[in-house]
């Protein structure tokens, strides 16, 4: 499942983050790359313990926790604190698959990367290139969303970031361990939830809504891993 989620951040919040990013201390992104990925990676990142990264990351997680579409689609159990990258001057990240397990810094907790997420801080016309390209059984999907919008996609996907040949691309990226590990099951639950929400608006008096809602929760009860 790939899903674009609009307006995770407002234009004012994006502008504040952008202003902070332009004054931030960026470092070579290869520092956090694994043995295989280091050869494909050419970008800059904020250090994991950078106070700015921690502050904005906490804010993003708070926003997402109250975003109905994100919660419905991801069914989040754990969210790894967001990280931040910067691409410019031909910066790119070749084809790779993200790590399956991440450790939360300073804790004994681990996060399984069921879902990957990228939150854009720049509008598409501000830079050339920089598309997130996700490969799946249906082909290649090129993603370049407006600032403040987020894309969710399976953590198991082969993906890359195309070279940025003009301007600068700022983004947050992070991973989610879902209550429902299987992507197909999550997709079915999302479609069922959407149908229930639509019927609630169209025929709120229908007695069948209770049945459908019960089906949703019974499936979630059966498939959830907590």
Q: Of all helices (H) and strands (E), which one includes residue 200?
A: helix 183-202
**Cα 178 from Cα 215, distance rounded (Å):** 19
Tens-digit pLDDT profile for residues 75-107? 999 999 999 999 999 999 999 999 999 998 888
| Mean pLDDT confidence for 157-168 | 98
Whether 44 and 65 map to the same domain: the answer is yes
pLDDT tens sequence across 167-217: 999 999 999 999 999 999 999 999 999 999 999 999 999 999 999 999 999
Q: What is the CATH number of the domain that holds 209?
A: 4.10.860
Return the CATH number at 60: 2.60.120.620
Tell me: the pLDDT tens digits for 13-71?
999 999 999 999 999 988 876 656 667 899 999 999 999 999 999 999 999 999 999 99
pTM here is: 0.94
116 with 41, same domain: the answer is yes
Range of the domain at 86: 3-178
Assess whether 192 and 160 both reside in one domain.
no
Question: 151 or 136: whose pLDDT is higher?
Answer: 151
Residue that is written with structure tokens 């975003």 in the block: 67
Confidence (pLDDT) at 16: 98
Residue 96: in which H helix or E strand, if any?
strand 92-96
- What's residue 36's pLDDT? 60
Dump pLDDT digits (tens) for 100-128: 999 988 888 999 999 999 999 999 999 99
DSSP string, 34-65: -TTGGGTEE-EE--TT-HHHHHHHHHHHHHHH
pLDDT band at 137 (very low <50, low <70, confident <90, very high): confident
Q: Are residues 117 and 200 in the same domain?
A: no
Provide the domain count of the chain: 2
Residue in the block written with tokens 């040949």: 165
> Of 162, 181, 190, 193, which Cα lies nearest the Cα of 226?
181
Q: Within this chain, do residues 117 and 211 fall inside the same structural domain, yes or no? A: no
38 and 141 housed in the same domain = yes
């Amino acid at each position: 499942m790939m899903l674009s989620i609009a307006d995770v951040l407002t234009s004012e919040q994006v502008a504040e983050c952008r202003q902070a990013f332009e004054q931030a201390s960026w470092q070579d992104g290869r520092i956090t790359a694994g043995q295989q990925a280091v050869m494909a990676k050419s970008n800059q990142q904020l250090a994991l313990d950078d106070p700015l990264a921690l502050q904005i990351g906490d804010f993003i997680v708070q926003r997402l926790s109250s975003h109905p579409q994100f919660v419905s689609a991801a069914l989040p159990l754990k969210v790894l604190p967001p990280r931040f990258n910067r691409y410019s001057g031909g910066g790119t990240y070749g084809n790779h698959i993200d790590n399956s397990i991440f450790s939360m810094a300073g804790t004994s907790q681990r996060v399984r990367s069921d879902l990957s997420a990228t939150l854009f801080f720049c509008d598409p016309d501000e830079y050339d290139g920089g598309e997130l390209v996700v490969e799946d059984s249906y082909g290649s999907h090129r993603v370049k969303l407006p600032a403040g919008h987020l894309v969710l996609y399976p953590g198991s996907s082969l993906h890359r970031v195309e070279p940025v040949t003009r301007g600068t691309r700022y983004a947050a990226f992070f991973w989610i361990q879902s209550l429902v590990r299987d992507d197909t099951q999550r997709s079915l639950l999302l479609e069922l939830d959407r149908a229930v929400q639509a019927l609630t608006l169209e025929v709120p008096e229908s007695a069948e809504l209770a049945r459908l809602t019960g089906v949703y929760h019974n499936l979630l009860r059966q498939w959830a891993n907590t």
